[in-house]
A and B are shown apart, each in its own frame.
Chain A
Amino acid sequence: MSILLGLLLGTLRTATPLLFAGLGGMFSERAGVVNIALEGILLVGAFSAAAAAIATGSLAAALLAAMLGGLLLAALHALVTLRFGVDQIVSGVALNMLAMGATEFLMWLLYGSGANSPRIALAAPGGERGLGQLLVELPPLTWLALAAVPACGWLLFATRFGLRLRAAGEHPEAVASLGLSVLRLRLAAVLLSGALPGLGGAFLSLGAGYFVKNMSAGRGYIALAALIFGRWRPGGLLAACLLFGFAESLQGQLQLPWLPLRFVQMLPYLLTMVALAGAIGRSRPPAALGRPFRRD
Chain B
Amino acid sequence: MAPRVALERISRSFGGVAAVQDVSLDFEPGRLYALVGENGAGKTTLMRLLFGLLRPDAGRILVDGAPVRMRSSEDAIRRGLGMVHQHFMLVDTLSAAENLVLGSEPCRGPRLDRQAARAALRESAGRLALSFDPDQPAEALSVGQAQMLEILKVLYRGAELLILDEPTGVLSPQEAAFLFDLLRRLQGEGRTIVLITHKLDEVLALADTVDVMRRGRHVGRLARGETDAASLARLMVGREVLRVEKRPQAPGPLRLALRGLGLARRPGVAPLADISLDLHGGEILGIAGVQGNGQRELAEILAGLRLPDAGTIALDGEPLPPLDPRRARAAGIRQIPEDRQRSGLVLPMSLRENLILGQEDAPALSRAGWLRPARVDALARRRAAAYDLRVESLAQPARELSGGNQQKLVLARELDAAPRVLVASQPTRGVDVGAIEAIHRQLLALREQGLAILLISSELPELLSLSDRIGVLYKGRLRAVFPAAAVDAAELGLWMTGAKGADGD
Q: Do A and B touch (CB < 8 Å)? A: yes
- Selected from B53, B111, B153, the residue in CB contact (under 8 A) with A159 is B111
Query: Could you say which residues of chain A place their CB within 8 Å of the CB of B504?
Result: none
Measured CA separation A170–B53 after assembly (Å): 20
Q: Nearest residue in A to B105 (C-beta to C-beta)? A: A160
Q: Does B112 contact A (CB under 8 A)?
A: yes
Determine whether the beta carbon of B92 is less than 8 Å from that of A170. yes
Stretch in contact with the other chain, from B72-80, B409-417, B450-458: B72-80
Determine whether the beta carbon of A159 is less than 8 Å from that of B112. yes
Count how many pairs of residues, one from A and one from B, have CB atoms less than 8 Å apart in the complex. Answer: 73
Measured CA separation A296–B54 after assembly (Å): 7
Determine whether the beta carbon of B91 is less than 8 Å from that of A177. no
State how many residues of chain A have any CB contact under 8 Å with chain B: 21
Most chain B C-beta atoms within 10 Å of own C-beta, residue among A162, A167, A178 = A178
- Selected from B54, B75, B89, the residue in CB contact (under 8 A) with A171 is B89
Which residues of chain A from 164 to 183 have a CB within 8 Å of any chain B CB? 164, 166-167, 170-171, 173-180
Q: Nearest residue in A to B71 (C-beta to C-beta)? A: A179
Query: Could you say which residues of chain A place their CB within 8 Å of the CB of B76?
Result: 179
Contacts A161-B110, A163-B112, A296-B53 given; indicate if A170 touches B93 (C-beta within 8 A).
yes
Query: Could you say which residues of chain A place their CB within 8 Å of the CB of B88?
Result: 174
Determine whether the beta carbon of A179 is less than 8 Å from that of B102. no
Q: Does A89 contact B (CB under 8 A)?
A: no
Q: Does B94 contact A (CB under 8 A)?
A: yes
Query: Could you say which residues of chain B place their CB within 8 Å of the CB of A164?
Result: 102-103
Contacts A163-B94, A164-B102 given; indicate if A177 touches B110 (C-beta within 8 A).
no
Q: Nearest residue in A to B77 (C-beta to C-beta)? A: A179
Contacts A158-B111, A175-B103, A178-B73 given; indicate if A163 touches B89 (C-beta within 8 A).
no
Most chain B C-beta atoms within 10 Å of own C-beta, residue among A163, A177, A178, A180 = A177
Query: Could you say which residues of chain B place their CB within 8 Å of the CB of A158?
Result: 111-112
Determine whether the beta carbon of B102 is less than 8 Å from that of A167. yes
Q: Does A98 contact B (CB under 8 A)?
A: no
Q: Does B98 contact A (CB under 8 A)?
A: yes
State how many residues of chain B have any CB contact under 8 Å with chain A: 30
Q: Does B85 contact A (CB under 8 A)?
A: yes
Query: Could you say which residues of chain B place their CB within 8 Å of the CB of A8?
Result: none
- Selected from B75, B91, B111, the residue in CB contact (under 8 A) with A170 is B91
Q: Nearest residue in B to A163 (C-beta to C-beta)? A: B112
CB distance from A30 to the nearest CB of B (A): 11
Measured CA separation A287–B91 after assembly (Å): 10
CB distance from A49 to the nearest CB of B (A): 29
- Selected from A161, A166, A177, A296, the residue in CB contact (under 8 A) with B93 is A166
- Selected from A162, A166, A170, A179, the residue in CB contact (under 8 A) with B103 is A179
Determine whether the beta carbon of B94 is less than 8 Å from that of A170. yes
Determine whether the beta carbon of B89 is less than 8 Å from that of A160. no
Q: Does B83 contact A (CB under 8 A)?
A: yes
Q: Does B301 contact A (CB under 8 A)?
A: no
Determine whether the beta carbon of A177 is less than 8 Å from that of B85. yes
Q: Does B90 contact A (CB under 8 A)?
A: yes
Query: Could you say which residues of chain A place their CB within 8 Å of the CB of B112?
Result: 158-160, 162-163
Query: Could you say which residues of chain B place their CB within 8 Å of the CB of A162?
Result: 112
Q: Does B502 contact A (CB under 8 A)?
A: no
6 contacts between A and B (CB under 8 A): A159-B110, A171-B91, A178-B73, A179-B73, A179-B77, A296-B54
Cβ-closest 7 pairs across A and B: A179-B74, A178-B103, A174-B89, A179-B73, A177-B89, A171-B91, A159-B110
